[in-house]
Structure 1
Amino acid sequence: MVVSKKGLWGVTGGLIVLTGMVLNGLESMQMANANSLENQAAPLLVAQRRQPLTIVFPTRSDSTDLQNKANKVATFLSKELGIPVKAQIGDDTAAVEALRANRADVAFLSSRPALKAEQLANARLHLAEVRANYSGRYTYDSIFVVPNNSPFRTRNTAKATLEQLRGRSMAFTSPTSGSGFIFPVSELVKQGFVPNRDRLDGFFGKISYGGNYSKALEAVVRGQADVAVVSEYALYPPYLSAEDRSKVRVLHKISGVPAHGIVIDDDVPVILREKLINALLKLNKPENNQLLTSLYNSTQLVRVDHTRHLKPVSEALKNAGFEP
């Protein structure tokens, strides 16, 4: 039996007393009897929750006035669930730490922090974001970007294409970026150019880190780097202006980068978790969709399997030589 990190989640209703410890220990039984529990226990469970449900919304370059927008989503979810919902703002690292330290129950996270949240807090990703500019609906491409007048050309194979970059200057996004470092390095390892992330200088003549998509792309636009790696959606505002977009092109792409999503801590009881997921899915409805799109420009949320969705980033991390 697993003891809840946050303590007891009480439900007292005559003959029924459910604690968080029992809920966690009997999760499989709850799932098998979901309909019955939903009808009998769910209203009591939600009504008796002792503290607000706290959701962390990480800051991102393409989101402005985030606290106000997150507060509106929290208000919507509070009405749907019948309990207080609190919105907090912080980066991915702060969100994972909040889950670990039991200061948050839910967080919007990118793929690598979602894996870290599983490792540190036993949280799992249940929903993924869909964007209009994602090639794979809820997966997207990591792209190698070069100037329009670059002598490099896309060849018949990835190996032949990337071989042209030997000895050249590379602008990565950051050492922690999925599409701007982890997936490109994994590709270089798979093609046999480098053994791991620590030996990149054996292939590239110069390596720099922009710190974000815009600055990595700016290095290419200004002639400070021969190539940059970013997410496919970084070719559009607010990351790259229309004028600068006309100055660059995609040399090579890596498909299947997992989209950002929503992780829920394991201390949230099954019934409440399902009610929360269903409430979040209501943001897909036309009358509510602006609340979702205003956050991070995603148009829809879809259910995903945590392990299956994050498998590509797990494999890329392993290829690149990161610790599990």
Structure 2
Amino acid sequence: MRKKILLGVGAALVAVTGLSIGAAEKTPPAIAQQTSAHQGSRLLAQAPGTPLTIAFPGRADSTDLQTKANGVAQFLSKELGMPVNAVVADETATVEALRANRADVAFLSSRPALKAQELANARLYLAEVRPNYSGKHTYRSIFVVPKNSPLQGKSSAKQTLEQLRGKKMAFTSPTSGSGFIFPVGELVKSGLVPNRDRLNGFFGQVAYGNNYSGALQAVLRGQADVAAVSEYAMYPPYITAEEASKLRILHAISGVPAHGIAIDDDVPAATRQRIINAMLKLNQPANNQLLKSLYNSNELVKVEHNSHLQPMRDALKRAGF
């Protein structure tokens, strides 16, 4: 049976809420070459002996990704009893491939996972765990200030964040969950801004670092008074330990959903379970380095799709998406 599996992890998804058929144009050459022959019948895509294709989007904390992905592909090939190919892609192409029935499985961050559910009825079954996640398979979105900043934590979120009025703010990017959506949702929840389009009425300046490192560097260089990032961005490779010692957390928002593995509803239940079981074997000591080497995750855990992603839905709604 032919099943094409596409795994994507963590890269920032550009304008995912407006993803259209045109996003297919962004599919990397490696994927375009392998999927162009499978645009027609779904039955043809399931021909016996055809290898699985797994795509791994790059992230800032992953290097030499193709080599590491090849190692995981070899492991999964043995566990699933079929050839598995690994290619490096991006999350935009991953979601589009699910929508176009060129992929059945994807490892996605929470916001594109919601889009994958909308477009392809795919659901998350597993989530990743990192040692620097405060909530096992959830983590915190944090407001970061210089260590010597006069801004201090108060008795409530509203009182703490009220101090940011008129300050220079550095968000990660307009599409980042922990670097924009959750912090803006917190500002709305506290009654300080009405939505994401009215930030300039509260802050003296709003800028975007384009990634965690860029937002934090803006604070370190005095270009911003505060930055919004993920809690794990306070460690290398995003910033050095010396740079981290010059910063502190002003306010934290818990419950940001970790990235996870989504499976399309077209995949039969038995096949889906085999995929889940094979992935969970990456938790075993003999195989765990394969998982760690990809994106610094050290465990995969089972999750329920709706409850895992509900915090992202709530934050998107509050922020005005």
1:141 and 1:179 in contact (8 A); partners too: yes
Q: Secondary structure at the match of 2:107?
A: strand
Q: Deviations over 1:64-116 (max 9, x none)?
A: 11111111111111111111222221221121112112222222211001111
| 2:138 alignment counterpart | 139
| 2:71 alignment counterpart | 72
Larger Rg: 1
Greater shift in the superposed pair: 163-172 or 85-94: 85-94
Looking at structure 1, the residues matched to 291 and 318 of structure 2 have their Cα atoms a distance apart, in angstroms, of 34
Looking at structure 2, the residues matched to 114 and 61 of structure 1 have their Cα atoms a distance apart, in angstroms, of 20
Q: Secondary structure at the match of 1:136?
A: coil
| 2:267 alignment counterpart | 268
Q: Which residue identity lines up with residue 68 of structure 2 in the other structure?
A: K
Correspondence 1:109-258 to 2 at 5 A = 109-258=108-257
| 2:43 alignment counterpart | 8
Q: Secondary structure at the match of 2:56?
A: strand
Correspondence 1:14-29 to 2 at 5 A = none
Structure 1 52/122 Cα, relative in aligned 2: closer, same or farther at 3 Å?
A: farther
Shift of 1:51: 3.1
Looking at structure 1, the residues matched to 262 and 74 of structure 2 have their Cα atoms a distance apart, in angstroms, of 19
Shift of 1:6: 5.9
Q: Deviations over 1:118-152 (max 9, x none)?
A: 11111111100010000000000000000011110
Is the counterpart of residue 311 in structure 1 residue 310 in structure 2?
A: yes
Looking at structure 2, the residues matched to 170 and 276 of structure 1 have their Cα atoms a distance apart, in angstroms, of 43
Instruction: Give identity over the alignment, percent.
Output: 71
Shift of 1:55: 2.3
Structure 1: state its 5+ residue gaps: 11-19, 21-47
Q: Deviations over 1:184-212 (max 9, x none)?
A: 00000000011111111111010000000
1:180 and 1:231 in contact (8 A); partners too: yes
2:213 and 2:238 in contact (8 A); partners too: yes
Q: Secondary structure at the match of 1:192?
A: coil
| 2:300 alignment counterpart | 301
Q: Deviations over 1:3-53 (max 9, x none)?
A: xx962389xxxxxxxxx9xxxxxxxxxxxxxxxxxxxxxxxxxxx745332
Looking at structure 1, the residues matched to 241 and 41 of structure 2 have their Cα atoms a distance apart, in angstroms, of 49
Shift of 1:228: 0.1
Looking at structure 2, the residues matched to 55 and 124 of structure 1 have their Cα atoms a distance apart, in angstroms, of 17
| 1:26 alignment counterpart | none
| 1:280 alignment counterpart | 279
Looking at structure 1, the residues matched to 162 and 41 of structure 2 have their Cα atoms a distance apart, in angstroms, of 52
Q: Could you state the TM-score of these two structures normalised by the residue count of structure 1?
A: 0.84
Structure 2: state its 5+ residue gaps: 1-39
Looking at structure 2, the residues matched to 269 and 311 of structure 1 have their Cα atoms a distance apart, in angstroms, of 26
Q: Could you state the TM-score of these two structures normalised by the residue count of structure 2?
A: 0.85
| 2:18 alignment counterpart | none
1:9 and 1:49 in contact (8 A); partners too: no
RMSD: 1.5
Tell me the matched-pair count: 282
Q: Which residue identity lines up with residue 95 of structure 1 in the other structure?
A: T
Looking at structure 1, the residues matched to 209 and 181 of structure 2 have their Cα atoms a distance apart, in angstroms, of 15
Q: Secondary structure at the match of 1:253?
A: strand
